Amino acid sequence: MLLGTSLSFSHACVAYIPTSFQRGHGVALAFAAANGLMALLLYILLSRENARREREYGSAPKEEEVHAFESEDYKRKWGLEGMTREQIVALGDDHPAYRYML
């Protein structure tokens, strides 16, 4: 069921009743505000995660750096000792070198 069709009553369509329109716009405004708050929360949490990874592992690798998954130095730098190449690739955004783009 669509939410928009339930926000104004059918008798409100016959005669102009401002409260009916205010209710619908109020709900739309509430959803827009909730969306803005969620975006702000996500930005704050991802910024904190990036800062934690910077503290724990150092700066992110440059774009031109090669990821030598088999290298023991690479695994040691990122705390991936004992993992295979497939396991490292499967980490995705859980990989310590990954940084969220904000």
Alpha helix (H) residue ranges in the chain: 10-14, 18-57, 72-78, 85-90
Q: Give the range with max mean pLDDT: 10-14, 66-70, 98-102.
A: 98-102
Share of the chain above pLDDT 90, in %: 39
Residue 52 tokens read as: 């934690």
Helix, strand or coil, per DSSP, at residue 25:
helix
Q: For 28-61, give one letter per residue: b (16+ CB within 10 A) or e.
A: eeeeeeeeeeeeeeeeeeeeeebeebeeeeeeeb
Tell me the two tokens of residue 24.
């619908």
Q: What is the pLDDT of residues 58-91, one digit of tens each?
A: 888 888 777 788 888 888 888 899 999 899 989 9
